[in-house]
A and B are shown apart, each in its own frame.
Chain A
Amino acid sequence: MDEDDRHDLELHRLVSARERSAFDELYRRYGRSAYGVALRVTSQDLIAQEVVQDAFLALWRAPEAFDPARGAFRSFFLSLVHHRAVDAVRREERLRRRTERAANLEPATGEDPAEDVVEDAYLRVRRKEVRAALTTLPPAQQQVLEMAYFEGKTQVRIAEELGIPIGTVKTRTLAAMRKLRDALREE
């Protein structure tokens, strides 16, 4: 566990003790990443705002949902945001067909369009590592990961859209996740 993870743990401990300043600090650290992924998944700013608000509120309501023994706070919280964003987009799909993805959203592995966004150095470093790891994946694996993670599609739907057996989707997904795991494994 590095220093930033330990700092997150301390902030989380203070949030558990109902310290609002610690909550605000976690918002400052992760608000941009949370909003970024929520916007990327939902493609709609109002829904993305609600997703981020719900995720931070859930943290405030039940901070004990994060178990430090099960990994870094960063992973826990961004997973929470992603989960809610996928839920949101799946519900929206039932209401109407999604419009084309907003033009200002870049591909997952693309250049950051918001280089002027200020964020903690360790997050910027980690972000580069994640993107670099993604570029090492074969295109076919990137594609299923993109469709599952950022488009919130089920494996069944991915198989249908790509016209490939669902077993292939599973194989590619697992292979991609294993490669990312190996590339991102922290020292």
Chain B
Amino acid sequence: MTEDHERIDELLAGYVLLSLSGEEAAEADRILVDHVPSCATCRATLSELQAVSGDLALAAPPVDPPETLLPRLHHAMDEVPLAGRTPRRGALIAVAASAVALVAMGGLSLVLGNRLSNAETRTGTALEILSAMRSPGATPVTVTPQDQTPPDSGMVEVSTADRLYIAAEFCPEPTPGHAYQLWLGSDDEWTAVGEMFWPDNGVLLLEVTGVDVSQFDGVWITQETVGSPPAEPSTDGPSWFGTLR
């Protein structure tokens, strides 16, 4: 099949600017997987457009970050779990109240962890999850560790009409260069949802909003290579699977 390179260039420009949505975002994903890797012209175009996108940041005025930011970063770096570290154990509720990783989405556009340091928001989301678990419309199910995934790394998933919560503990740290990816699926067609994420001391706290949960029949969390948007769930490494209906 001959690809229309002008059309592809338009998609790539939108892709690097993060301005695609819906079917076009899906088309760009397809092209990035099926065409770009084998097309030297498109690889060069993508690389050039990405360079422009990076440099566009320089159009914004530089601003000195607060002096407190670097010390906060150092503190957070000290808290980054090392690969292979044994997650702490604790009761789910206690963990949820101090959980760290937060994912929130609108549609299928994920926003990851930008409130990572906002303890108030984390606690608020944890309380939302606990509240949702108790609500009449909630449907708690178990998201089951697959294959060699540590059996005590269970997750609980709670879906309501328009949102989905996933809480996990004892979640192993991904191997170096990897992170976890959330997928929603229907009839074995899987859609990667948002950016990748890491657990914090074995804890994950995910909030998925603005999604018609009834359109999907499964949730899957897999380990994927950082920096390489996955086309389909990887079956290597830890993964958890749950049925939504």
Residues of chain A having any CB pair with chain B under 8 Å? 20, 23-24, 27, 31-37, 39-41, 45-47, 49-54, 56-57, 60-62, 64-67, 70-72, 74-79, 81-84, 86-88, 90-91, 93-94, 105-106, 108-110, 112-114, 117, 119, 123, 126-127, 130-131, 134, 145, 148-150, 152-156, 158, 170-171, 173-174, 177-178, 180-181, 184-185
Contact = CB atoms under 8 A, between A and B. Distances in A.
Using C-beta atoms within 8 Å of the partner chain, give the interface range for chain B: 35 or more
B55 A78 contact: yes
A155 B55 contact: no
B61 A113 contact: yes
Nearest to B51: A75
B60 A36 contact: yes
Report which residue of B62, B80, B209 has the largest number of chain A beta carbons within 10 angstroms of its beta carbon: B62
Contact of A127 (B58, B105, B177, B179): B58
B29 interface: no
Contact of A36 (B48, B62, B177, B227): B62
A106 B16 CA distance: 24
Given A61-B198, A71-B47, A150 B60 contact: yes
20 contacts: A27-B73, A31-B65, A32-B62, A36-B60, A37-B60, A49-B69, A50-B118, A57-B73, A57-B116, A65-B177, A82-B57, A106-B61, A114-B61, A150-B59, A152-B18, A153-B19, A155-B24, A156-B22, A173-B10, A180-B55
Contact of B64 (A87, A117, A153, A180): A117
Nearest to B227: A65
Given A40-B60, A130-B59, A156-B22, A174 B210 contact: no
A163 B228 CA distance: 36
A112 B62 contact: yes
Given A60-B80, A81-B57, A174 B21 contact: no
B21 A130 contact: no
Contacts of A67: 227
B55 A75 contact: yes
B69 A173 contact: no
Contact of A174 (B9, B59, B69, B226): B9
Given A32-B63, A64-B177, A109-B59, A50 B47 contact: no
Contacts of A154: 19-21
Interface of B: 9-10, 13-14, 16-22, 24, 47-66, 69-70, 72-74, 76-77, 80, 104-106, 109-118, 176-177, 179, 194-195, 198, 209-210, 226-227
B65 A35 contact: yes
A112 B62 CA distance: 8
A127 B58 CA distance: 5
Contact of B179 (A62, A70, A131, A170): A62
Given A24-B70, A145-B56, 18 more contacts: A37-B58, A46-B118, A52-B69, A60-B77, A67-B227, A79-B53, A79-B54, A105-B61, A109-B59, A112-B62, A117-B63, A117-B64, A154-B21, A170-B14, A173-B13, A174-B10, A181-B51, A184-B52
Nearest to A173: B13
Contacts of B54: 71-72, 74-79, 82
Contact of B176 (A34, A62, A109, A114): A62
Contacts of B13: 170, 173-174, 177
A39 B47 CA distance: 26
Report which residue of A34, A79, A152 has the largest number of chain B beta carbons within 10 angstroms of its beta carbon: A79
B66 A184 contact: no
A35 to B, nearest CB: 4
A45 B63 CA distance: 11
B64 A114 contact: yes
B176 A64 contact: yes
Nearest to B24: A155
Contacts of A53: 69, 72-73, 76, 116-117
A33 B58 contact: yes
